[in-house]
Structure 1
Amino acid sequence: MFGEDHFLALLLINILGFAGILVWHIQGRSRPTGRLIVQILFFATMSLVLGLGGIPPYRLDQTELQGAGLLVAKSARILWWTHLAWTIIGFLHIYIGLNRRPREAHLLQDLIVAVVHLGVALSIIGFVFGAPIGPLVATSGVVAVIIGLALQNTLADVFSGIALTLGRAYVIGDWIRLSDGTEGRVAETNWRSTNLLTSAHNVVVVPNSVLAKQGVTNLSRPDETHWTAFTVHIAATHAPFVFEEVMLGVLQGCERIIKVPPPAIALKAIDAIAIEVELQFCVASPASRMPAKNEVIDLAYRGCKTNGLSLAMPPESLLWGPAVTGGEPAAIVRPHSSGAV
């Protein structure tokens, strides 16, 4: 049978362990900070009792292997290892909370929590119950290989999600564009996929393994300001600087674009029919491109009307053929709604 002090120490550890579990549940999910404090305080007290009583948590003393005290000794160590796991997880929550990355780090958090629980479970089996861990680990490895072969695609999504989280190519709330043209705001990331909320308010579910293989352009870094361009073809009836001044005035009068950095006008090409003018401007976010572009188009049309400029006809509206008199080629206008005139 135990010595009286030894037994009292083990009994006190059991009382503290069960009391910690009870208080932890009473705190509830709505009070995460209180839960973390309870975990840390009860584990620290249990560890202090272990140290003062000279009780090792990783083995049973010979005097503890007799009588009913064996149950008290084993339950005390099981509770201590369980509170150790909860305390480690509690510190993990504190670290993630202090870094203000609770949502985007949850994949890595879940992985660490699983590793902690597995390590504590093996420690309890080996240290408290004295079972050989080696054959168990070997058997678990064979089972893991079989499961891995059966779930190759799922595991590829899982590890791709972890790699993307560690690489921090994007976080929750970022607007990203994939190499296949898909773009949207990152609404959620989980073990299997990443959900993108598009500008059309649709949710696109992209498997993590597919996302890891594609090129990702993060439109929210370094900030969400986004350059865009719009091309106008204007009939070549005036000098190019006139077009530049008119279109620059159009951009400066647009309310849905930002003025810093300032908008710019690029004269891209010129021929006998038209001058190609590119209006370059910056918007506050990728989601505001469409309303900004609509306003620019409306103001460009008004600017051309006000300043006597004519929009050029598209090249596909023109046919080149021999003139009626002479052999020189002439331009023939072909309306879109009917055949050639």
Structure 2
Amino acid sequence: MSTDLNLMMFAQDPLVQTGVLASIGALLTHVALRNRPTHRFAGQLFFFTALTVLLFYHGVVPYEAGTSNSSVPQRVFAGLARMIWWTNGALSLVGFVRAFLTFERRTREGRLLQDLIIGMIYVGTALSIAANVFNFPVGTLIATSGVFAIIVGLAMQSTLSNVFSGIALNISRPYAIGDWISLGDGIEGQVLETNWRATHLLSDTNDLIILPNSSLAKATLTNLSGPDRSHGVTLTVRISPNVSPGAVSSVMRDVLLSCTSILPNPPPTTHIQSLDADAIEVKLSFHVAKLSAVGTTKDEVFDLVYRHVKSSGMRFASPSASMQPILNNTESSASTASTPLRLLNAISLFSSLTEDEKEALAATMSRRTFRKGDVVVEQGTVMAALVIVRTGVLAVTSRTEEEEIETGRLAPGDFFGEGGLLTGAGTAGTVRALTFVVVYEIALENLAPLIHDRPGIAEELGAALLHRKQSIDPPTK
């Protein structure tokens, strides 16, 4: 009987009830509902309300300082109860901030604002406990803390500068995670992380760069990924002034038209930069889908510039005027060869042939021209000749039951018709002229003996056929 009475008295003890209620609330909200912010806030609010009712039931006003005429156990209980109440109130407010406070649906700014408000809640709770539980003169503390704040501020000037710069950068959002940025001092990299103190960049050499936020806030910053992921590229080409600037611009437009890696919008452009006795300088401007594609696209454009310039009979300008006579003499001696022979010499497919074999093959080649918009060959046509592009640009389109899609473009030095030569299959797509086009054809009966004697030619033709098929039929997952 006495044991039951002791248990009943223990259960009715205000300190025990308060502790049990606070423990149950902490376990439920911080363990069971830790990954569900809305339900967690509802649970915290429920237990905070229940705790408030329990304290008032026992005659404890949590937001008022305790009296000194009560007994020591009563003062200890009241102090602990008030501390628990204020702590639960702060946790309820934090739960509300975590669950409902957003900043225009932007995660990074919302998290920053949440952290700032939660910090203010905790500071206010600590001051309230000091004032209402320990009767500490908070007003005097706040009044005298100015000197201490000045001392701490001077000692942590660099750290605070980074923190406030981080706040400004997170709110203004001059860049986002994943963007490529470039600074005025030559530092360039992809943003991996930004926090209160520093921003982490990954350079193109796979090195980690850590920049203090204060330095980043002062620097001249260029976001290479903004306002979208596309990136502009400019190249300058110098051509010998043996042709008109209009002809140079026309050839450079064909270069940009030939490149499949260039975005159609905004449209690529060419402009004559300068003209003198040594060179015609022309600037090529275009956009690529993303910054990482700049290198491969520039390689493709440079290759197309070389092929188009050579096929049009133009010459690249030398860096020095004194070298011009030597280059002219060299090129004039090379220009004595016939056009078909020069075309064969420029294609790696026939690099294994001897000069006599090339001359014999060049004599059998026939020339054909097409105007812009002409269909050179229809899809499915079985070709009995290998066609080599001399000048101009052609588009290859593949027609299906649903749509017609462009699968590639052909520039000077490219060839097609290898499917009919190797397998007797029809062409995989329709070839159409995008500009005025000149091509040379090599009939099957003239090329077959060389394919038989030079297996390398057949292998290269097979590789070209496979590449063209893969561009039409993407690999399945």
**TM-score of Structure 1 vs Structure 2, range by shorter chain:** 0.7 to 0.9
Contact 1:177 1:216 (8 Å CA) reproduced: yes
Q: 1:159 to 1:40 in 2, by over 3 A?
A: same
User: Which residue is 1:42 aligned to?
Assistant: 44
- State the Cα distance separating 1:288 from its structure 2 match: 2.2
Contact 1:104 1:172 (8 Å CA) reproduced: no
AA matched with 1:183: E
Between the aligned partners of 1:294 and 1:15, the Cα distance in structure 2 is: 72
- SS where residue 188 of structure 1 aligns? strand
Between the aligned partners of 1:243 and 1:333, the Cα distance in structure 2 is: 22
1:318 aligns with 2:354: no
Mapping of residues 231-310 of structure 1, within 5 Å = 231-310=236-315
Between the aligned partners of 2:14 and 2:122, the Cα distance in structure 1 is: 26
User: Which residue is 1:325 aligned to?
Assistant: none
Aligned pair partner of 1:79 in 62, 84, 88 = 84
- State the Cα distance separating 1:103 from its structure 2 match: 4.4
Contact 1:244 1:267 (8 Å CA) reproduced: yes
AA matched with 2:295: M
Most deviating of 132-141 and 254-263: 132-141
Q: 1:135 to 1:127 in 2, by over 3 A?
A: same
Between the aligned partners of 2:69 and 2:108, the Cα distance in structure 1 is: 46
What is the CA deviation profile of residues 184-209 of structure 1, one whole-angstrom value per residue up to 9, with x for unaligned ones? 22211122211122233222221111
Aligned pair partner of 2:213 in 188, 208, 213 = 208
Q: 1:128 to 1:246 in 2, by over 3 A?
A: same
Contact 2:44 2:92 (8 Å CA) reproduced: no
Q: 1:100 to 1:187 in 2, by over 3 A?
A: farther
AA matched with 1:270: L
Q: 1:213 to 1:238 in 2, by over 3 A?
A: same
Contact 2:178 2:191 (8 Å CA) reproduced: yes
Task: Give unpaired runs (5+ residues) of structure 2.
Answer: 1-8, 328-477
AA matched with 1:57: P
Contact 2:269 2:285 (8 Å CA) reproduced: yes
Between the aligned partners of 2:258 and 2:112, the Cα distance in structure 1 is: 47
Contact 2:52 2:85 (8 Å CA) reproduced: no
- State the Cα distance separating 1:125 from its structure 2 match: 0.8
What is the CA deviation profile of residues 271-330 of structure 1, one whole-angstrom value per residue up to 9, with x for unaligned ones? 12211111100011223222222221122112212222211111xx2359xxxxxxxxxx
1:157 aligns with 2:162: yes
Aligned pair partner of 2:124 in 110, 113, 119 = 119
- SS where residue 68 of structure 1 aligns? helix
Between the aligned partners of 1:218 and 1:64, the Cα distance in structure 2 is: 67
Between the aligned partners of 2:38 and 2:80, the Cα distance in structure 1 is: 23
1:88 aligns with 2:93: yes
- State the Cα distance separating 1:14 from its structure 2 match: 3.6
1 or 2 for the larger relative contact order (CA 8 Å, sep ≥6)?
Answer: 1
1:23 aligns with 2:25: no
What is the CA deviation profile of residues 236-276 of structure 1, one whole-angstrom value per residue up to 9, with x for unaligned ones? 12222222222122112223221122211111111122111
Most deviating of 95-104 and 130-139: 95-104
User: Which residue is 1:189 aligned to?
Assistant: 194
User: Which residue is 1:338 aligned to?
Assistant: none
Question: What's the Cα RMSD here?
Answer: 3.1
User: Percent of aligned pairs with the same residue?
Assistant: 40
Contact 1:179 1:216 (8 Å CA) reproduced: yes
Between the aligned partners of 1:35 and 1:190, the Cα distance in structure 2 is: 23
User: Which residue is 2:347 aligned to?
Assistant: none
User: Which residue is 1:339 aligned to?
Assistant: none
Max Rg structure: 2
Q: How many residues are matched?
A: 314
Between the aligned partners of 2:209 and 2:227, the Cα distance in structure 1 is: 24
What is the CA deviation profile of residues 88-109 of structure 1, one whole-angstrom value per residue up to 9, with x for unaligned ones? 3333333467855444655554
Q: 1:222 to 1:94 in 2, by over 3 A?
A: farther
Contact 2:178 2:192 (8 Å CA) reproduced: yes
- State the Cα distance separating 1:61 from its structure 2 match: 5.6
TM-score normalised according to structure 2 size? 0.59
AA matched with 2:99: I
Q: 1:124 to 1:62 in 2, by over 3 A?
A: same
Q: 1:92 to 1:310 in 2, by over 3 A?
A: farther
